[in-house]
């Protein structure tokens, strides 16, 4: 049995200087798929098939069926730039996961992802003492990004089969104390953390 927090808002609206995270709806599927159909977005991901429409459809429907997701909107243009979500499906009681994140390549390497994570972490850590990030073991880009904002790898080994191949996930945590230290120490430059 999965324990789901009833007090936590899984689909808040979170506003930063660069990005606004808004509750995802069915109407967001097409603009998100326009971004997600780029195979390079998924190149180091455990499921590179997400660039295919039916696989992305399953990914999107799974998010909507599991407390929803958040669409990342570029504040400067008003256009959808990516997606992320909260979930309690794979974590223990009293924990929350942030994951399933992707951004259009135009937003890679800048401050956008850092601000997304900062907004989502701040919201989650108001309710939970730590946030978990499950990441494909071979997804070095995402692993380094989480380490850059204070994520610490924890004792976690998860194996599954996806499209007839073994997929291994590792996990990282960010606690309230680490978040406060990391984002206080880097105030003014926190957007560059990812």
Give the CATH number of the domain where residue 113 resides.
Answer: 3.40.630.30
Residue 10 has pLDDT above 70, yes or no: yes
Q: What is the pLDDT of residues 72-82, one digit of tens each?
A: 999 999 999 99
Residue 189 has pLDDT above 50, yes or no: no
Q: Is residue 43 part of a domain?
A: yes
Q: Is residue 46 part of a domain?
A: yes
Q: Is residue 5 part of a domain?
A: no
Cβ-proximal residues to 185 (8 Å cutoff; 6+ apart), any chain: none
CB 171 within 8 A of CB 132: yes
Q: Is residue 55 part of a domain?
A: yes
Percent of the chain exceeding pLDDT 90 equals: 76
Q: Is residue 104 part of a domain?
A: yes
CB 173 within 8 A of CB 131: yes
Dihedral pair phi/psi, residue 157, rounded to 5°: -140, 115
Q: What is the mean pLDDT of the chain?
A: 90
CB 155 within 8 A of CB 109: no
What are the residue ranges of helices labelled H in the chain? 29-36, 53-65, 112-124, 140-148, 176-185
Q: Is residue 2 part of a domain?
A: no
Q: Is residue 83 part of a domain?
A: yes
Residue 48 has pLDDT above 50, yes or no: yes
CB 11 within 8 A of CB 68: yes
pTM higher than 0.75: yes
For residue 24, give its domain range. Answer: 14-187
Residue 191 has pLDDT above 60, yes or no: no
Distance CA 179, CA 161 (A): 33
Residue 4 has pLDDT above 80, yes or no: no
Q: Is residue 69 part of a domain?
A: yes
Domain count, the chain: 1
């Amino acid at each position: 049995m999965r324990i789901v927090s009833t007090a936590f808002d899984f689909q808040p609206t979170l506003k930063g200087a660069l990005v606004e995270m808004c509750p995802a709806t069915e109407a967001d599927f097409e603009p998100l798929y326009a971004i997600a159909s780029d195979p390079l977005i998924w190149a180091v991901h455990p499921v590179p098939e997400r660039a295919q429409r039916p696989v992305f459809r399953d990914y999107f429907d799974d998010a909507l069926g599991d407390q929803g997701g958040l669409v990342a909107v570029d504040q400067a243009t008003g256009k959808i730039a990516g997606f992320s979500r909260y979930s309690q499906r794979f974590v223990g009681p009293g924990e929350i996961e942030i994951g399933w994140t992707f951004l259009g390549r135009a937003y890679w390497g800048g401050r956008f992802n850092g601000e997304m994570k900062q907004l989502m972490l701040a919201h989650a850590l108001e309710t939970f003492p730590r946030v978990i990030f499950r990441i494909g073991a071979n997804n070095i880009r995402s692993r380094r990004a989480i380490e850059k904002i204070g994520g610490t790898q924890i004792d976690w080994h998860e194996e599954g089969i996806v499209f007839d191949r073994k997929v291994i996930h590792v996990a990282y945590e960010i606690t309230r104390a680490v978040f406060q230290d990391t984002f206080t120490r880097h105030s003014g430059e926190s957007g560059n953390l990812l």
